Amino acid sequence: DGYFEQVVRQCRYSSKDLQGAEFIDSYVFNKVEDIRFNSTVGKYVGYTEHGVKNAEAWNKGPVLAQELGELERYCKGNAAIYYSA
């Protein structure tokens, strides 16, 4: 009964110098990942019919520009907190 929707934002660090830092933003609907942004890839990738449609639209608009800045703002900006814990 009902629907399950989830957005998972992750920062992955491979070293303290942050050269290999990676930002991943995943959109999940009913336990199936529809679409993902990966800073290493530099764009959205769709995994379902709905996800492919959204990826095409989001890669053309201002949403992509915002996501491209999240590695610096969200991941690298919080890395000191991560490594101090």
- The CATH number of the domain holding residue 49 is 3.10.320.10
Residue 76 clears pLDDT 80, i.e. is over it: yes
Quote the mean pLDDT of the chain: 90
Q: How far apart are the first and last CA of the chain?
A: 39
pLDDT single digits (tens) 34-74: 999 999 999 999 999 999 999 999 999 898 999 999 998 88
**Helix residue ranges, H only, 1-85:** 49-58, 62-70, 77-84
pTM: 0.84
| Domain extent at residue 11 | 5-84
Res. 25: pLDDT tops 90: yes
**pLDDT given at position 13:** 86
19 pLDDT above the threshold of 90: no
Which pair of tokens denotes residue 21?
């830092």
CA distance 2 to 30: 9
Give me the pLDDT at residue 11, please: 92
Q: Domain count of the chain?
A: 1
